[in-house]
Chains A and B, each alone.
Chain A
């Protein structure tokens, strides 16, 4: 199998990662010549032990690593055919197209309604009716509407952890991105809240390309269509999830997923 080959027939890759290497300050190399293509409207999971580079890699996809001074990269990432590192690229516009949900839910200390409408307001949408419609559509999309529709103007901080995480997903989809990146979205959630997020990811599949970093292998095998295994900054194996978990090509992958090291 050629690493990075798997993709559904006819679907173009959304991300085409080409020979990507990344160094943190102090010449600490976090990614080593990673090449892979992330398919459209599928869920791709990055797995690997702590420090393998999976979070670094997902943060390259919306240039979040820019926020760390002294980070150096080689290689390229094409997003729908255009380089993410092109000097003329508007990073803010990019992050509208590529939303992200983090490990720790981070709602703004505002009302539920304000949290969801915030991004749209920044984009200049000001009509109350239009915003109401976006808020409802986004909350429904994040499977949260029924739980919060009667208290839209209560503080978002009063929601449970799982609800807050779904609120963050609602906030992300309110600005209609093309891609949603999830960085350990469930690691602070109980199994039921986790199951709701995972169900939601399946529902979102028809409209969004999703990439998830998870240290929970069961989660990767449950939710993803494709799985990439990274180790020491290298992409060891990338393939269809059922193949990778049932019959991996590489011994390193097998050792990791069967718990023989890690």
Chain B
């Protein structure tokens, strides 16, 4: 039986996917800005961020309306609760992408420190997590969501590695400190995005199976400052 609620949920699903697509694009653009030292994307990313913010509020509003008008239960209720958390994570990812392009702008004031290899790799890994966390949502694929949660360990490992490498650069040549700090901030923002993707994957598992897996799946603690 097709329900009126189904149309409302479908609209929310479509909006969420649009928001997810925008955020993925922002992370991709931020990476291109870094690799190609391209300043022109900054404004585009800022524009996209405003659209992401708008969608966050619009989707939240639609969810609230669906809640208050339908008093949904079971999977419908879990869907709406999960979406309201997912849009929050997507919005934070967008902010991280903005932080990255702002760091790129600072980096571009000086000659490049070295060819970037590890950061674009990390960015690719993180984008993949974001894309698959959203795919798991669309395809209702719990196994995929669980895989995303496990990948967060890999990201954390790469971040620690980058941290040590940049620290070595800074100790060897203090003139690199400013650039190294911006590169570290970029890595940190990518690592944060991966955390948000993990949150999304956890929300997907909750939506599909009603299991709250936060703080229970085996993964390393979010790195604070790793040991030097």
Q: Which residues of A contact B (CB under 8 A)?
A: 217-218, 221, 245-248, 253-254, 257-261
B3 and A257 form a contact (CB under 8 A) = no
Asked if A259 and B74 make an inter-chain contact with CB atoms under 8 angstroms apart, the answer reads no
Q: Which residues of B, 38-82, contact A by the 8 Å Cβ criterion?
A: 71-78
A257 with B1: CB separation less than 8 A: no
Q: Is the interface of A mostly helix, strand, loop or mixed?
A: helix
Give the chain B neighbours of A218 by CB distance below 8 A.
Answer: 71
Q: Which residues of the other chain, B, contact A257 by a CB distance below 8 angstroms?
A: 73-74
Quick one: which of B71, B74, B76, B78 has the most chain A CB within 10 A? Answer: B74
Cα distance A257–B75 when bound, in Å? Answer: 10
Residues of the B chain whose Cβ atoms lie less than 8 Å from the Cβ of A259: 1, 3, 5
Task: Decide if B210 is an interface residue (CB 8 Å cutoff).
Answer: yes
Alpha-carbon gap, A218 to B210, bound state (A): 20
Take A246-B78, A246-B210 as given contacts and tell me if A260 and B73 are in contact as well, using a CB distance cutoff of 8 Å.
no
Partner of A221, one of B73, B75, B209: B73
Q: List 27 A-B contacts (CB under 8 A).
A: A217-B73, A218-B71, A221-B73, A245-B73, A245-B74, A245-B77, A246-B73, A246-B74, A246-B77, A246-B78, A246-B210, A247-B74, A247-B78, A247-B209, A247-B210, A248-B74, A254-B75, A257-B73, A257-B74, A258-B74, A258-B75, A258-B76, A259-B1, A259-B3, A260-B1, A260-B3, A261-B1
Closest residue on chain A to residue B5 by CB atoms: A259
A245 to chain B, nearest CB (A): 5
**6 tightest A-B contacts by CB?**
A247-B210, A257-B73, A254-B74, A245-B73, A258-B76, A258-B74
Q: How far is the CA of A253 from the CA of B3 in the complex (A)?
A: 17
Residue pair B78, A258 in contact (C-beta under 8 Å): no
Distance of A81 from chain B, by nearest CB (Å): 35
What's the minimum C-beta distance from A240 to chain B, rounded to whole angstroms? 13
* Further 10 A-B residue pairs, CB within 8 A, beyond A245-B74, A247-B210: A218-B71, A246-B74, A246-B77, A247-B74, A248-B74, A257-B73, A257-B74, A258-B76, A259-B1, A260-B1
- Which residues on the A side are within 8 Å of B75 (C-beta)? 254, 258
Q: How far is the CA of A258 from the CA of B71 in the complex (A)?
A: 9
Chain B 76-113 interface mask (CB, 8 Å, partner A; 1/0): 11100000000000000000000000000000000000
Alpha-carbon distance between A98 and B29 when the two chains are bound, in angstroms: 71
In the assembled complex, the CB of A185 is this many whole angstroms from the nearest CB of chain B, namely 20
C-alpha gap A134/B75 in the complex (Å): 48
Q: Digit string of B186-228 for contact with A (CB within 8 Å is 1, else 0)?
A: 0000000000000000000000011000000000000000000
Interchain CA distance A261-B210 in the complex, whole Å: 21
Question: How long is the Cα–Cα vector from A79 to B210 in the complex, in angstroms?
Answer: 35
In the complex, the chain B residue whose C-beta lies closest to that of A221 is B73
Separation of A254 and B74 alpha carbons in the complex (Å): 6
Q: How far is the CA of A248 from the CA of B210 in the complex (A)?
A: 9
Interface centre among A247, A248, A253 (most CB of B within 10 A): A247
Tell me, in angstroms, the Cα distance from A218 to B209 when the chains sit together. 22
Chain B contacts for A221, CB-based, 8 A: 73
Q: Please, how many angstroms separate the alpha-carbon atoms of A241 and B48 in the complex?
A: 43
CB-defined contacts of B209 to chain A, threshold 8 Å:
247
* Residues of chain A within 8 A of B1, CB atoms compared: 259-261
C-alpha spacing A150/B53, complex, angstroms: 61
Measured in the bound complex, the distance between the Cα atoms of B72 and A246 in whole Å is: 9
Please indicate the chain A residues that have their CB under 8 angstroms from the CB of B78 in the complex: 246-247
Tell me the bound Cα distance from A248 to B77 in angstroms: 12
Q: How distant is B84 from chain A, measured CB to nearest CB, in Å?
A: 15
Chain A residues contacting B72 (CB-CB under 8 Å) are 258
Bound state CA distance, A4 and B5, in angstroms? 32
State the CA gap A218–B67 with chains docked (Å): 13
User: Which residue of B has the minimal Cβ distance to A253?
Assistant: B74
Residues of B within 8 A of A258 (CB): 72-76
Q: Which B94-152 residues have C-beta < 8 A from chain A?
A: none
